[in-house]
Amino acid sequence: MAKTASNQMWGGRFASGPDAIMEAINASISYDQRLADQDIDGSLAHVAMLAKQGIVTAQDAEAIGQGLEQVRGEIAQGQFAFSAALEDIHMNVEARLKEIIGDPAGRLHTARSRNDQVATDFRLWVRGQCDAAIAGLEALIAALLAQAEAGADWVMPGFTHLQTAQPVTWGHHMLAYVEMFARDKSRLEDARARMNECPLGAAALAGTSFPIDRAATAQALGFDRPMGNSLDAVSDRDFALEFLSSATICAMHLSRMAEELVIWSSAQFRFVVLSDRFSTGSSIMPQKKNPDAAELIRAKIGRILGAQVALLTVMKGLPLAYSKDMQEDKEQVFDAADNLMLALAAMEGMVRDMTANQPALEAAAASGFSTATDLADWLVRVLGLPFREAHHVTGSIVAKAEAAGCDLPELPLSEMQSVHSGINDAVFEVLGVHNSVASRQSYGGTAPDQVRSQIAIWKERLE
């Protein structure tokens, strides 16, 4: 089998280069080129520190800095030729730097290893993705708050087991997702704070004998501090796992909401109308308007959860410190991050554009004996019945309404009194859905006043 040229970055240890199969399995440049900006930022911080510490000359540091910015420009303009023979983004950048500035390029790698270099690059990239996802969640929460505010007093059915349970308000339902996505935002913020420590300077695994200033490079790259153990610094991928964990929970929440939009936009429910921007037609049925964006969001959880499982599986059996297995840490994270951002943007667009069908919501809220619990509560509060007895009486009244083919507000008083003689006309005050939701004044309840109070709280938090 033909041999490729020896990789000169390895020095004199290997007499001949890897064959094509080894090159294919070993190279990561096809995907880790996405770390180019982070790699160059890390190198600029590193060489500035080396010059300040007198480890390299100011002249060499200036040449290296100018050369790195030229490399950055070439990559940004699509003029950089990535080479699989050079394995990864780090060697591709360094090799091109040498072509530009010559021998001073060889001083850049003083007092560092590819191990701490890639750990720094990847951590910087994931940190940036946390920031992007947080911004995406804030935009989605704002869209949900706008929907909640518009329909703070619109009644709709609340469900358990997808069966009509009790009336709630549209605003209250929207706020339930605000709570979920706010927790996702909080998880990402927590993960970002924990990952904001700098591995650079840990070198291969044991630190370095050069008089480096790790605090300076950490500060230059926006980290809070250097990592405190060089073994952990090069072998830790918790930051990526925490991001994937947060992304997975967020994708699950997006999937739950997407499922509701699929159901709600169906002809059987007609609760919402999705905009044409996030729907498609059928190739054969002209009447169809398919909620494809929602369905695709619903599917994204599979890819994102799969990425988390994949990386956990890679990491679970690795001894300290670095192993080549850890090269398999990036593709899944890249894919998960891309799909999370796409799903967040699509959901925000759908929520902003969708139109709630208020008459359909109200009609559904009044069906299915949704005020049965209000009747039971009235029996307890007004007639003094024990709740278990009130529950039994209410069940009997519901059975009468079902047999008569009507809902509770339409059932004659005489029919109710045949179950319990103490029931009087005042009971009808609690059987209307608007009265029902207005009565739920407990903190966090569905009453319009409570909904508007929560909207104000969340608006203030977002600001």
DSSP code of residue 198: E
**CB-count burial class (<10 Å; 0-12, 13-18, 19+) for 455:** buried
Sequence letter at residue 25 = I
**CB-count burial class (<10 Å; 0-12, 13-18, 19+) for 381:** exposed
Residues that are catalytic: 161, 282
Distance CA 213, CA 46 (A): 9
Alpha carbon distances (Å) from 6 to 10, 150, 339: 8, 67, 38
Residue 51, number of CB atoms within 10 A of its CB = 19
CA neighbor of 340 nearest in space, from 174, 137, 37: 137
Angle 24-123-137 from CA coordinates, rounded to 5°? 110
CA neighbor of 99 nearest in space, from 87, 110, 86, 88: 86
Angle between helices 292-315 and 238-264 (to 10 degrees): 160
Q: What is the dihedral of CA 225, 231, 235, 240, to 10 degrees?
A: -20
Distance CA 230, CA 220 (A): 19
Please provide the size of the chain in residues. 463
CA neighbor of 248 nearest in space, from 176, 182, 308: 308
CA neighbor of 83 nearest in space, from 28, 151, 157, 132: 28
Helix (H, G, I), strand (E, B) or coil at 108: coil
The two tokens of residue 212 are: 């480096």
Largest Cα separation within the chain, whole Å, is 100
CA neighbor of 234 nearest in space, from 307, 324, 314, 317: 324
CA neighbor of 391 nearest in space, from 369, 408, 373: 373
Do 294 and 278 form a contact (C-beta atoms < 8 A)? Answer: yes
Distance CA 328, CA 309 (A): 12
Element (H, E) at 276: none
Q: Does the N-terminal peptide bond of residue 61 adopt cis geometry, omega within 30 degrees of 0?
A: no
Residue 68, number of CB atoms within 10 A of its CB = 24
